[in-house]
A and B are shown apart, each in its own frame.
Chain A
């Protein structure tokens, strides 16, 4: 009690005001700084026997763990959809709007119309050369699109490398920040600045990869991915990316590290454990997540759809359909399978109790037996061993049909190559037709089909499933027009050397094939449930591809916009919680000003009183 305690109180008041002013001034100065959390002074009053005064307990920093966690998660998701939307926006400019010059559907329709014109005027040189040039345009469009897609994949890899680099930098900075935060003796101003830096770094890391932040009581933060791999806990893990060089359509990701042909993204934890992030499926969001999805799923699927279109083109022109010969009794068919190369197939059309069914038997070493997207059963059989081996492999697979090698009396030389398929005698299961579908082997003298579109090196396209990689993968980048036809466009019409040029049999056949031949994309739908299955004739497949990509891209763009909107609302909320309201600070400033003046006044009054006392 007494003057001295009043003096003490006033002095503590002054000191508190000074500290408050410091905090207010710091707030105002940093009102525009991104990532700055509003600070306020903790003031408590202290009572003891003799006096009660104000004391500051330290600077309080505005921080809401739930909000921050939510923000971190949203940043990762927004970054992921944003980077995907950016790439897909470019993809849509490559594809073009339907009906625009250079878009796939326009180019294909022009090719179809040119073929129609060819069947009306096969003898006209101009018409034939137009068919060839439109076919070349089609092939070039497919090549171009493939190149663009692979280029984007390559770019994605480049961006992954850059992100990894900056990510490592940020993690090591965060590690340092953590270390400094452990020093509890730091004064408050420095501490809060470090905490702001910590939060900034965490959200920057969240932008790159999805993280879960664990804010410790001492202010340090531990980071791990949403899937549980630790990124930072005291010491930072190191990301590394091993580029695969040039990415082609055939460079795909494989779970077997020896077979994978794309770049490898790994993380090495401080304890020395190295994980392959893609193989373990660790990355679920953030820019890295978006780029990996692009590189391994979205763009690969787009390439696969282009490959389907290219394969359909080549097969529609080059497939020779040879029907089997009907048996004398009318209950079955004979089929010569010697011409069926790996990848070619034959169709069995049969009726089972009145219901028409179809089985497609493909020449391949793989063991496949599934129902494709259009309901046709696909069975893989190795036909290199002749008809007898085929019959053994097909034994019992189609109930009601008897499949065997033809045995004729007397034995004929080509019996080993002929397959005989007979329905059952009761009539419940009957074979309607057998059709072998082989690839044309020569431009003239081998029937009406024509290898207009060929693979690299002018070789025919047989859709060989057995190669590594299978022939269809990346075919859109390799498809080109047969050089023999470019050199002599009469091959479009003449089925035999020296035939008349007015004969429209071959163009009519090609037009019919193009309109009628049905294709189904992808392999087993059960094995790839997420894949979009294409089915129909070539024109429908192209429409489905463009429609699918258009929808996909539209969905990606709107997802980005949605997430951005959510992020904006979050940021607004954070502004309200952490942000500096200049008006509030200014009013506080006025109050402090008054309080400071009042305290000073108290001091001077006490001083006067003491003087009065001492002057007595």
Chain B
């Protein structure tokens, strides 16, 4: 009540004392709670500072929580990647060429050991932290890799690796087991040709030319046959004993092998890989033909089978940007002429996590071939809408360049653009190629220029030179486009650990190092050597050699190798640590600042209480004395 209606309203002197008493109570409260003020308004000028310091502290707390969570995941990943490194070293040395063990023990144990290793690899790839899978990129809620039994044996009618590899083997060997190669002798000429234009079996690449023989280097044969080489034996002088004819062959997985047959005189003991010199060139040719045929069978049952398994591994365990492929069994497996896309309903898809749809390494599944004034840009067969680039259109704003787009003959053939350059290409002529990828379309523009070419330009010269420059520039542009779309697996998962620092730690099971491990281990696991004979031993050698190459240390520098993964983890961990240290020290500073502003110094409060106490006592004393002094007392 402002206007006092009660008797003997409080005099001002007394109200000062009651103010002192309430101040005493406030000081006691301060001493007890340690806070300068217990109410919002009491904070006064300290309020804005307190607000901003608290908001910064809360932000730091948020980042620290993130850091803790990511630390946990990174430590798991670190352990797992270290284990992968150990597994890679183990696998590299598990099988060596020529090391068959006593009684061929290695031949019997290597498949089982490889299967056990494969089990461990798949388990590690499917490892999870608190329900979050680590090797699927940003798809962390589902297992990235299928189980080992599903992978190898298939699941509910969908083919596994064993089936796919078996199909591929039939396609690569052909009907007669000679790797899709035919031989034919006409008079003194032996012709070795591929039985069609397809990716299966062996391809002829070189042929040596000793004296006494004239050879035809690989050249396209009569349709539908593929390339062929011819060896023509001369009548006189005939080939001398000891000279060898070596034919180089390319295997389905890209490796090479060669067949070397040496001539021996008739009557001499016929060793392996020999053919006898007959009386006439025809006879020599026939003997060469027979030797060649049996040699092809031998290679087919050993080296070719090993190469075929590894090629099947590449098809089944697809890398980023490539689809899963199987043999197209139309008209039949042994006569197959193309690969087809595998669908999730007929094949087990080994990797279900996040993956890039376009890979820069394979140029986005496009191929560029240049031949004098002609450049052909084609899609790799079979084309897939979900992987790589698809050609949409090509426009050449120039009178000297033609760029028609031809669609594939069948759905399994890719489209192609054929650029034809004339001599009179002028400066500023532009060629625009539109490619489509899952997620959009992109235009690649290349402009002709007279001077040195920059990015997106090609230099004009003669028709052939122009075409060569154009193909180089096209490759570079496509590479750049594919890289920009691909990104890196690391960026798929990231965490904010500071206002402007993000840690990227995504990992995908189809990165090159892990993929190589999967492919080689799975191939070794499904290959058995039942008889232990020479063919099996040769096959074992082929498999061991290929595993060692795939897992060799030379590939440590490739992006996605296990060593690079370990290094990326190390970088992420160190970023995390430095952020964490920063936060800790900043937090300590801020808390000090807040304490200065919000908490009381106990000494100050104690001193003030003491002073107040003195004043109160004095006031009470005086009040008591004054109240006694009244005239009424003395009358």
Chain A residue with Cβ nearest B55 = A539
In the complex the two chains form, is B47's CB within 8 Å of A546's CB?
A: yes
In the complex the two chains form, is B631's CB within 8 Å of A554's CB?
A: no
- Chain B hits for A109, CB < 8 A: 54-55, 58-59, 62
In the complex the two chains form, is B62's CB within 8 Å of A113's CB?
A: yes
Chain A proximity of B77: nearest CB distance (Å): 14
In the complex the two chains form, is B131's CB within 8 Å of A123's CB?
A: yes
Cβ of A43 < 8 Å from any Cβ of B? no
In the complex the two chains form, is A105's CB within 8 Å of B51's CB?
A: yes
**Bound complex: CA A503 to CA B140 (Å):** 8
Cβ of B489 < 8 Å from any Cβ of A? no
Interface centre among A120, A203, A571 (most CB of B within 10 A): A120
Cβ of A102 < 8 Å from any Cβ of B? no
Select B138's contact among A502, A572, A575, beta carbons within 8 Å. Answer: A502
Cβ of A587 < 8 Å from any Cβ of B? yes
- Chain A hits for B50, CB < 8 A: 98-99
Cβ of B132 < 8 Å from any Cβ of A? yes
Report if A203-B3 is in contact (Cβ < 8 Å); known contacts: A92-B39, A504-B138.
yes
Instruction: Find residues 580-599 in chain B having any chain A CB closer than 8 Å to their own CB.
Output: none
Cβ of A471 < 8 Å from any Cβ of B? no
Cβ of A168 < 8 Å from any Cβ of B? no
- Among A51-59, A75-83, A354-362, the stretch in contact with B: A75-83
Cβ of B267 < 8 Å from any Cβ of A? no
Interface membership of chain B positions 349-384, coded 1 if the CB is closer than 8 angstroms to chain A and 0 otherwise: 000001000000000000000000000000000000
Cβ of A245 < 8 Å from any Cβ of B? no
Chain B residue with Cβ nearest A127 = B69
Report if A113-B54 is in contact (Cβ < 8 Å); known contacts: A79-B2, A501-B140.
no
**Bound complex: CA A126 to CA B43 (Å):** 37
Cβ of A525 < 8 Å from any Cβ of B? no
In the complex the two chains form, is A590's CB within 8 Å of B2's CB?
A: no
Select B47's contact among A75, A116, A206, A547, beta carbons within 8 Å. Answer: A547
- Chain B hits for A246, CB < 8 A: none
**Bound complex: CA A123 to CA B137 (Å):** 13
Cβ of B6 < 8 Å from any Cβ of A? yes
Report if A590-B635 is in contact (Cβ < 8 Å); known contacts: A500-B141, A501-B140, A554-B42.
yes
Instruction: Find residues 123-163 in chain A having any chain B CB closer than 8 Å to their own CB.
Output: 123-124
In the complex the two chains form, is B630's CB within 8 Å of A116's CB?
A: no
Instruction: Find residues 1-26 in chain B having any chain A CB closer than 8 Å to their own CB.
Output: 1-9, 11-12, 15
How many residues from B make CB contacts under 8 Å with A? 56
Report if A587-B631 is in contact (Cβ < 8 Å); known contacts: A502-B138, A503-B138, A543-B55.
yes
Interface centre among A95, A116, A203, A502 (most CB of B within 10 A): A502
Report if A547-B62 is in contact (Cβ < 8 Å); known contacts: A203-B3, A501-B140.
no
Cβ of B63 < 8 Å from any Cβ of A? yes
Cβ of B632 < 8 Å from any Cβ of A? yes
Report if A500-B354 is in contact (Cβ < 8 Å); known contacts: A120-B69, A123-B141.
yes
Cβ of B103 < 8 Å from any Cβ of A? no
Pick 21 A–B contacts, CB within 8 A, sort by A: A34-B5, A88-B41, A89-B39, A95-B40, A97-B43, A98-B54, A105-B54, A109-B55, A109-B62, A112-B58, A112-B59, A113-B58, A117-B62, A120-B66, A123-B131, A123-B132, A200-B5, A207-B1, A207-B3, A575-B12, A582-B630
Instruction: Find residues 509-526 in chain B having any chain A CB closer than 8 Å to their own CB.
Output: none
Chain B proximity of A497: nearest CB distance (Å): 14
**Bound complex: CA A343 to CA B70 (Å):** 41
Contacts A113-B62, A504-B494 given; 18 further ones with Cβ under 8 A?
A34-B9, A92-B39, A92-B40, A93-B40, A105-B54, A109-B59, A112-B58, A113-B59, A120-B495, A121-B130, A123-B131, A123-B140, A206-B3, A502-B141, A502-B493, A568-B12, A571-B9, A582-B632
Chain B proximity of A77: nearest CB distance (Å): 10
In the complex the two chains form, is B66's CB within 8 Å of A116's CB?
A: yes
In the complex the two chains form, is A543's CB within 8 Å of B65's CB?
A: no
Cβ of B560 < 8 Å from any Cβ of A? no
- Chain A hits for B11, CB < 8 A: 572, 575
Instruction: Find residues 387-434 in chain A having any chain B CB closer than 8 Å to their own CB.
Output: none
**Bound complex: CA A587 to CA B630 (Å):** 11
Cβ of B575 < 8 Å from any Cβ of A? no
**Bound complex: CA A32 to CA B43 (Å):** 40
- Chain B hits for A611, CB < 8 A: none
Cβ of B48 < 8 Å from any Cβ of A? yes
Report if A32-B630 is in contact (Cβ < 8 Å); known contacts: A123-B131, A124-B132.
no
**Bound complex: CA A204 to CA B3 (Å):** 7
Interface membership of chain B positions 200-232, coded 1 if the CB is closer than 8 angstroms to chain A and 0 otherwise: 000000000000000000000000000000000
- Chain A hits for B12, CB < 8 A: 568-569, 571-572, 575
Chain B residue with Cβ nearest A287 = B2
Select B632's contact among A78, A539, A550, A586, beta carbons within 8 Å. Answer: A586
Select B40's contact among A123, A539, A550, A571, beta carbons within 8 Å. Answer: A550
- Chain B hits for A204, CB < 8 A: 3
In the complex the two chains form, is B7's CB within 8 Å of A32's CB?
A: yes
Cβ of B414 < 8 Å from any Cβ of A? no
Report if A501-B54 is in contact (Cβ < 8 Å); known contacts: A32-B8, A554-B44.
no
Cβ of A511 < 8 Å from any Cβ of B? yes
**Bound complex: CA A119 to CA B142 (Å):** 18
- Chain B hits for A75, CB < 8 A: 2-3
**Bound complex: CA A568 to CA B11 (Å):** 9
- Counting contact residues on chain A (CB < 8 A from B), the size range is 35 or more
Cβ of B61 < 8 Å from any Cβ of A? yes
Cβ of A234 < 8 Å from any Cβ of B? no
Cβ of B52 < 8 Å from any Cβ of A? yes
Chain B proximity of A588: nearest CB distance (Å): 10
Chain A proximity of B579: nearest CB distance (Å): 13
Report if A117-B65 is in contact (Cβ < 8 Å); known contacts: A105-B54, A109-B59, A207-B3.
yes
In the complex the two chains form, is A119's CB within 8 Å of B496's CB?
A: yes
10 closest Cβ pairs, A-B complex: A502-B140, A109-B58, A113-B62, A554-B41, A553-B41, A32-B8, A501-B141, A586-B631, A92-B40, A500-B139
In the complex the two chains form, is A34's CB within 8 Å of B6's CB?
A: yes
In the complex the two chains form, is A119's CB within 8 Å of B495's CB?
A: yes
In the complex the two chains form, is B51's CB within 8 Å of A98's CB?
A: yes
Cβ of A386 < 8 Å from any Cβ of B? no
Interface membership of chain A positions 244-264, coded 1 if the CB is closer than 8 angstroms to chain B and 0 otherwise: 000000000000000000000
Report if A502-B132 is in contact (Cβ < 8 Å); known contacts: A550-B41, A553-B41.
yes
Cβ of A33 < 8 Å from any Cβ of B? yes
Chain B proximity of A536: nearest CB distance (Å): 12
Chain B proximity of A182: nearest CB distance (Å): 25
Select B631's contact among A500, A511, A583, beta carbons within 8 Å. Answer: A583
- Chain A hits for B630, CB < 8 A: 582-583, 586
Cβ of A366 < 8 Å from any Cβ of B? no
Cβ of B300 < 8 Å from any Cβ of A? no
**Bound complex: CA A406 to CA B11 (Å):** 81
Interface membership of chain A positions 569-588, coded 1 if the CB is closer than 8 angstroms to chain B and 0 otherwise: 10110010000001100110
Cβ of B111 < 8 Å from any Cβ of A? no
In the complex the two chains form, is A112's CB within 8 Å of B62's CB?
A: yes
- Chain B hits for A79, CB < 8 A: 2
In the complex the two chains form, is A550's CB within 8 Å of B47's CB?
A: yes
**Bound complex: CA A162 to CA B534 (Å):** 113
In the complex the two chains form, is B40's CB within 8 Å of A117's CB?
A: no
- Chain A hits for B5, CB < 8 A: 34-35, 200
Chain A proximity of B499: nearest CB distance (Å): 9
Report if A96-B40 is in contact (Cβ < 8 Å); known contacts: A116-B496, A504-B493, A568-B15.
yes
Interface centre among B2, B7, B69, B137 (most CB of A within 10 A): B2
Cβ of B252 < 8 Å from any Cβ of A? no
Cβ of B136 < 8 Å from any Cβ of A? yes
Cβ of A177 < 8 Å from any Cβ of B? no
In the complex the two chains form, is A116's CB within 8 Å of B139's CB?
A: no
**Bound complex: CA A575 to CA B15 (Å):** 14
- Chain B hits for A572, CB < 8 A: 11-12
- Chain A hits for B48, CB < 8 A: 543, 547
- Chain A hits for B52, CB < 8 A: 543
Report if A550-B43 is in contact (Cβ < 8 Å); known contacts: A113-B62, A123-B141, A583-B631.
yes
